[in-house]
Structures are given as structure tokens and as C-alpha cells.
Amino acid sequence: MIADLNIDIPAWFKEKAEAARPQIKDIDSAMALAIEFSAENIRRGHGGPFGAVVIRADDHSLVAAGANLVTSRGLSSLHAEVVALSLAQRMLKTWDLHSAGELILVSSCEPCIMCMGATIWSGVTHLVCGARGSDAELAGFDEGPKPEHWEDQLRQRGIAVQVDVQRDAAAKVLAHYASGGGKIYNARGQS
């Protein structure tokens, strides 16, 4: 038996993104939205403390926004970056986001190994990160066997990388989640 893969995206994603759309003017406001998605996701109990948005490089207009849905949807691949990239691909009707122009993935945390791969294959031309992988690991998450100089790996593939944008604010969401007893999930099922 083969199951269908229909992923129920929370209605608040669209509502919050539409309300924030006029406020996205630059990288900082896009990061603020990604962090807001990560915090709201905790409040609503929909998954881990991670948020991401996809914006256009030329005018910073919002294409898509999402948050981590791993625990609420029971799918280990539904990290915030994967959700936001998937929603952008659906919105723009293409699996290759580069074909829709230069796009920026703005994530509340630097990518784990899976999201690093998703970033490469998505076609985005820029990645902007808030918290560091070490902040996620401090909260208990496993970032996987990412190369030590992962930023250089992305740059070699034509993806510009900017880190530490509002790092303190993004790291606080991770710490809040961990201290509040949020489910810490990883490949070994440990929490």
C-alpha cells in the first residue's frame, strides 16, 4: 500500500505572512518574520522552534513563509527551510526557484545537513541565517554531519551566505523552547 502525501499547512502561516507582507522591506524585517514564525510555532504547538521565509532579492517582497512541522505532521523532513522552499515552489509553480529570479532564503537558524542540501537543490541564490547551528545544538538539536566550512560549500555553488543576522533574538527562541520542555527530536529519537 502506498499512502498519499498531502501536507496540511496551518492556516496561520498564510494569515501571518499576508499580514506581514507590507512590512518586509529588507533582510532585517524578513529575519524578524522568520523569528516570529519560529516563536509562533512554539505557541501554537505545531513543531520545533524554527522559521523561514523566501523573499525576492530585488525588492525583498515576500514569496513564502513557513515553520517547522516535524512533530505536528509526523514527518522528519518538514524543517522550516524545507516547508518555506516547498511553499515558494508551489507559489511560483517551479521546482527550480532560480528560474523565477534571484530569491533569498531567510532562516531563523543556519541549516542542518538536510536543509543545506535542500537549499542547494532549491535554486535560491542567497541564504541568510539567524542563530548558529551551535545555538540549536545547545538547545539539544542534532545538526548532522555538516562540513566545517559549509558556507564556503554553498558559495562555491553560487549561493551567497550571510550569518548572524539577529542571532541573539533567534537563539532566544531556541533556548525558550528547550527550557520550556519542547520536544527535542533527532535521528536517534533522543530528547
Catalytic residue, candidates 81, 110, 143, 151: 81
Asked if 157 contacts 92 with a C-beta cutoff of 8 angstroms, the reply is no
Asked if 64 contacts 88 with a C-beta cutoff of 8 angstroms, the reply is yes
C-alpha closest to that of 85 among 115, 112, 58: 115
Burial class (CB in 10 A: 0-12, 13-18, 19+), 136: buried
CA distance 68 to 112: 13
Residue 81: active-site member: yes
Amino acid at 121: W
Active site residues: 81
